[in-house]
Chains A and B, each alone.
Chain A
Amino acid sequence: DTGVSQNPRHKITKRGQNVTFRCDPISEHNRLYWYRQTLGQGPEFLTYFQNEAQLEKSRLLSDRFSAERPKGSFSTLEIQRTEQGDSAMYLCASSPNRGGLADTQYFGPGTRLTVL
């Protein structure tokens, strides 16, 4: 069990550019979540996959945001035409499918995005 990994750890970009983040969940965890965390706030849910199916999306996820999990393993989160308001920590988490709502979510270290 190597934990959830995220790449890159830091990303600085100019407004209007596109960025893509990658998350590798714990092996055999079939649920994968993306969150956004800004300074002084708790994580806010963005989207959730079960295997390759994207089951829920937050209203926070505007049409500039897209997430994929093509083979039910790693996932990517893309932000198009970045805005300064997109600056945040983007967290990924995974959980096993033991059938319960209380399944523990294991978080990665996050990708810190700074939009200049």
Chain B
Amino acid sequence: AQSVTQLGSHVSVSEGALVLLRCNYSSSVPPYLFWYVQYPNQGLQLLLKYTSAATLVKGINGFEAEFKKSETSFHLTKPSAHMSDAAEYFCAVIRSGGSYIPTFGRGTSLIVHP
């Protein structure tokens, strides 16, 4: 079985501050991990994915995430938040050797204050 836990349903930061969105996974085999962003009334857009190559993954819009096997984590970070980063962020896992179906976390709403 595979699962994802996103700690914090809401994260609030000031513009220019560090963004840290937490994701912990559970998988009995090496996983593929994804971060998606969803803006209001839109579908999900892939930010970045981990596919067992480099553990530090860089994505679009200045986001990156680090795969830490020992901590079963895949936290999303961005050094400096922009107002345009305000959105819902979802972490997802696919179990390698499994099906093509990802399991999504419940999402974290990022709020950016001016």
Contacts and interface: CB of A to CB of B under 8 A. Distances in A.
Main secondary structure on A side of the interface with B: loop
Contacts of B42: 109-110
- Chain B interface extent, by class: 20 to 34
A110 B44 CA distance: 9
A102 B41 CA distance: 25
> Interface SS of chain B: helix, strand, loop or mixed?
loop
B111 to A, nearest CB: 15
A56 interface: yes
Contacts of A108: 43
Given A102-B49, A102-B51, A102-B94, A40 B106 contact: yes
19 contacts: A4-B43, A40-B9, A41-B107, A42-B92, A42-B105, A42-B106, A48-B100, A93-B44, A100-B51, A101-B32, A101-B98, A101-B100, A102-B49, A105-B46, A108-B43, A109-B41, A109-B42, A109-B43, A110-B43
Interface of B: 9, 32, 36, 41-46, 49, 51, 90, 92, 94, 96, 98-107
